[in-house]
Chain A
Amino acid sequence: MSYKFDFEFLAERWPDFVAGAWLTIQLTVASIALGFLVGTVCALARVYGGPVLRRIVGVYVEAIRNTPLLIQIFIVYFGLSSLGLKLSAEVSAIVALTVNMGAYTTEIMRAGIQSIQRTQLEAADCLGLTRLQTILHVVLLPAMERVYPALSSQFVLLMLASSITSQISAEELTATANLVQSDTYRSFEVYVIVAVVYLALSALYRFALWAIGLVLFERRRRLGTPL
């Protein structure tokens, strides 16, 4: 068997790939932003909350981190719809990815929050900062700075994992690849192209996250060193 590469279909189908990549970006940016919020709130609840709240967050985190993402997506899309709550494939994808992102972010942010030394909190106390001010300025931002590399990796992982949402008919990049592949039968070429696009998206996300890091963390901007 000999295989001849043929990328001719790209001339006609490249807008499909662009549309797919654009939906992938929309889905993942929304889920990353929402998931980060959910995760940060849950991390605070897990560290500072009462025993009941801590237990509830613990169950959420363990339930999500120990089940496959595909099953979570099916539960949101098919399960909720069976109960009468019909969400579109895109909304279901964002909900499921957010819930997933939230659980992983909770653990990462919890590690960051717990890494803040007690002396810092005592200093904040002495300066007369309120509890809210302490959490915002002394705990959260430095905690985030400390776990920023781990967070960034998790965000990029989520972008790659979003390919699974093709299974519930969200027409993102992988779904586009499957569609073009089934029209043209150039499966090898199509998946090589899509792999390259994902690689480019990962690079783009990493660059964006690096830039956001510079804006958020003064130490990095001024000294170029991590915490």
Chain B
Amino acid sequence: MKTGTVLRSLLGVAFAAVLFALPAQADTLDDIKKAGKVRIAIDLAIPPFGMTDDKMQPTGSDVDLARLLAKDLGVELEIVTTTGPTRIPFLQTNKADLVVSTLSITPERAKVVDFSIPYADHPSVVAGMKSDTIKQMSDLDGKKVAVVRGTTQDTDLTRQAKGAQLVRYEDDATMALAFASGQVDVLATARSLLPAISKKNPARTLEPKITMQTFYLAIGMRKGEPRLLEWVNNWVRTNLQNGRLVAIYKTHHGVDIDPAMLLKAGG
């Protein structure tokens, strides 16, 4: 490669960086109303939160929540399909206004995005096959454990199960495939996922072995949007109290979430 070409490409990168850095003062809540649509990032590969039905239409508890939220905002819903690792970058680069995608509240994430009050709880577990005798983290030593890269399970296991060999996949579907094809026998994931994975592989039924920790799912948005945050918080509070969010969870997960506990956790 010639030096001139390299210089020119570097100039191009620098120019793109300047474009990115240009400030644009705006209020997202106003923008949403003005555009008449809200762009919500949802991962459609995490049943039963986000998935596609047999007619290839988006469905799931996060999708229903997003639809309800858009309706109450009085705007159209535009679903921005995302994946676990790209959820927060989509917010940061203004490709989405909100993230409703099994996003659990963590201190690290709170540094870069704002969270609403929680709308559901979300225990994560280490799961294995019935025949596996895993009881604690040290039982994972030397075992291959599948996780989705960048999830809280990934971060936790990296710290807590130093002897385990973590195998990182890009999304839940790939991780489930790795389990189905026998590449891994143990995985760390949300408890809510286990029934779906087991249903597809009757010969390899998963059961929860270790409960890692319970997270609270919340709606994520860019920092510095006090009006949007306030609106979303009020909306979550109202719909937990009137039972509409509880109904959505019952439909898709078959469990009752406890509004009183969630409202207490949200302060």
* Interface set of A (CB-CB < 8 Å, partner B): 1-5, 77-79, 81-82, 84, 86, 89, 166-169, 171, 175, 178-179, 181-183, 185, 187-188, 192, 195, 199, 202-203, 206
Contacts and interface: CB of A to CB of B under 8 A. Distances in A.
Interface in B149-184: 149-151, 154-155, 167-170, 174, 177-178, 180-183
A84 B181 CA distance: 8
Interface of B: 1, 6, 13, 17, 20-24, 26, 84-85, 88-89, 92-94, 108-109, 111-112, 149-151, 154-155, 167-170, 174, 177-178, 180-183, 222
Top 7 closest pairs, chain A to chain B, by CB: A182-B150, A2-B23, A187-B89, A82-B181, A81-B181, A185-B112, A78-B181
B252 to A, nearest CB: 26
Contacts of A166: 170
A93 to B, nearest CB: 13
Contacts of A171: 168
B4 to A, nearest CB: 15
A182 B85 contact: yes
Given A78-B183, A182-B150, 16 more contacts: A1-B26, A1-B94, A78-B181, A79-B181, A82-B180, A166-B170, A167-B170, A168-B174, A169-B168, A169-B178, A178-B85, A179-B150, A179-B168, A185-B112, A187-B92, A192-B13
29 contacts: A1-B24, A2-B22, A2-B23, A3-B92, A78-B178, A78-B181, A81-B182, A86-B183, A169-B167, A169-B178, A175-B149, A175-B168, A178-B85, A178-B149, A179-B149, A179-B150, A181-B85, A181-B150, A182-B85, A182-B151, A182-B154, A183-B150, A185-B88, A185-B89, A185-B92, A187-B89, A187-B93, A195-B13, A202-B1
A175 B21 CA distance: 27
Contacts of A187: 88-89, 92-93
- Which of B6, B17, B94, B149 has the most CB atoms of chain A within a 10 A radius of its CB? B149
Contacts of B21: 2-5
Given A1-B222, A82-B182, A203-B1, A183 B108 contact: yes
A47 B195 CA distance: 55
A180 B178 CA distance: 23
A197 B108 CA distance: 27
Contacts of B109: 185
Contacts of B168: 169, 171, 175, 179
Nearest to A185: B112
Contact of B20 (A3, A77, A167, A202): A3
Contacts of A206: 1
Given A1-B222, A185-B109, A188-B20, A178 B170 contact: yes
A1 B112 contact: no
Contacts of A86: 182-183
Contacts of A84: 182
B15 to A, nearest CB: 13
A46 to B, nearest CB: 32
Given A167-B170, A185-B109, A206-B1, A1 B183 contact: no
A167 B174 contact: yes
Contacts of A79: 181
Contact of A169 (B6, B24, B88, B169): B169
Contact of B167 (A2, A89, A182): A89
Most A CB within 10 A of own CB, among B24, B167, B181: B181
Contacts of B178: 78, 169
Nearest to B166: A169
Contact of A81 (B85, B170, B183): B183
A96 B211 CA distance: 37
The residue among A79, A178, A195 with the most chain B CB atoms within 10 A of its own CB is A178
Nearest to B6: A199
B169 A183 contact: no
Which of A1, A89, A183 is most buried by chain B, counting CB atoms within 10 A of its CB? A1
Nearest to B19: A3
Nearest to A78: B181
A175 B150 CA distance: 11
Contacts of A183: 108, 150, 155
Contacts of A82: 180-182
A17 to B, nearest CB: 16
Contacts of B94: 1
Contacts of A4: 21
Nearest to A84: B182
